[in-house]
């Protein structure tokens, strides 16, 4: 299956990890932010990753890239993360310099999330050229929200057309199996577009992923 890369965010159990990987997910995200309904203890994430790795050898599916999500995390929290993570995704106030330093220190690629509601918001991405490997353009959280992502709210995808940076980007925020093909089509002429990310849109309830919705989302995204 080709097409854009797909990131399934908020994995909390092996069933979800297996469903996503078998359906062709390119990235799996583990949320290490305690106030999230998708929070997972690092030790549990490590267990899932090891089981998934074993299944990938046995069944022959590709092991997705493994992403840890953090919000202004300190050194201790980052060092407790599973060692097999390939990416750190930052949703807080991490500066470009800190992204660069942490990428080198932990030998991971960096995804920097930037909240967007209007075209000017994407200009902030220029600060992260050479510091982040991927930019994740996400919807701004609703006023008063207790966490920076995973709210199932969308933004006007055309806002991203003003992005002219070199760093590839992933589109996120309110994507679902029903709208992801339109989201992908909206970016098809943008050379920086590499993928889509989803959390709420493949859940039956906050933090409860649906294997059927994950499969439908990946088919729609990659078939678009
Ligand atoms: O999902 C969370 O609970 C979360 C908590 C803290 C920081 C980031 C979080 N999610 C970030 C993501 O990458 C989501 O997939 C992204 O915001 C899109 O979410 P959704 O609109 O629910 O698909």
pLDDT digits (tens, 9 = 90+) for 168-205: 999 999 999 999 999 999 998 999 999 999 999 999 99
Specify the ligand 1 atom closest to the Cα of 154: 21
Q: Is 205 left (phi over 0), alpha (psi -120 to 50) or beta?
A: beta
Determine phi and psi for 127, rounding to 5 degrees. -60, -25
The whole-model pTM stands at 0.97
Minimum CA distance residue for ligand 1 atom 8 = 149
Catalytic: 9? yes
Q: From the candidates 26, 121, 138, 197, which is the catalytic residue?
A: 138
* pLDDT recorded at residue 4: 97
* Candidate of 6, 69, 148, 203 to mutate for ligand 1, largest count of ligand atoms within 8 Å of Cβ: 69
Tokens in use for 216?
A: 């439908």
Mean pLDDT score across all residues of the chain? 97
The rounded Å distance from CA 63 to ligand 1 centre is: 22
Give 188 or 10, the one with higher predicted confidence.
10
Q: Which residues line ligand 1 (CB under 6 A)?
A: 9-10, 29, 31, 33, 36, 38, 69, 71, 91, 138, 147-152, 172-175, 197-201
Does the structure's ipTM exceed the value 0.95? yes
Give CA–CA dist 138/165, Å, rounded. 16
Q: From the candidates 9, 26, 99, 121, which is the catalytic residue?
A: 9
* pLDDT recorded at residue 2: 67
The rounded Å distance from CA 173 to ligand 1 centre is: 8
Catalytic: 99? no
* pLDDT recorded at residue 3: 85
Specify the ligand 1 atom closest to the Cα of 207: 3
Confidence of residue 224 (pLDDT cuts 50, 70, 90): low
Domains of the chain from N-terminus onward: 5-223 (3.20.20.70)
The rounded Å distance from CA 58 to ligand 1 centre is: 31
């Amino acid at each position: 299956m080709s097409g854009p890369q797909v990131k399934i965010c908020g994995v909390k159990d092996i069933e979800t990890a297996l469903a996503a990987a078998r359906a062709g997910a390119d990235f799996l995200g583990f949320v290490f932010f305690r106030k999230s309904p998708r929070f997972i203890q690092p030790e549990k994430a490590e267990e899932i990753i090891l089981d998934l790795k074993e299944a990938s050898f046995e069944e022959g599916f590709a092991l997705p890239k493994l992403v840890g999500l953090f919000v202004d995390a300190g050194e201790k929290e980052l060092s407790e993360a599973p060692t097999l993570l390939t990416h750190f995704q930052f949703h807080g106030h991490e500066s470009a310099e800190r992204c660069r330093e942490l990428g080198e220190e932990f030998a991971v690629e960096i995804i920097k999330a930037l909240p967007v509601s209007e075209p000017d918001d994407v200009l902030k991405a220029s600060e992260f050229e050479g510091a982040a490997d991927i930019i994740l353009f996400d919807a701004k959280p609703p006023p008063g929200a207790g966490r920076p992502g995973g709210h199932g709210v969308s933004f006007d995808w055309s806002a991203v057309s003003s992005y002219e940076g070199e760093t590839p980007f992933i589109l996120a925020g309110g994507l679902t199996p029903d709208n992801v093909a339109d989201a992908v089509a909206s970016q098809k002429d943008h050379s920086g577009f590499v993928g889509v990310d989803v959390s709420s849109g493949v859940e039956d309830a906050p933090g409860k992923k649906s294997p059927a919705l994950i499969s439908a989302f990946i088919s729609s995204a990659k078939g678009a």
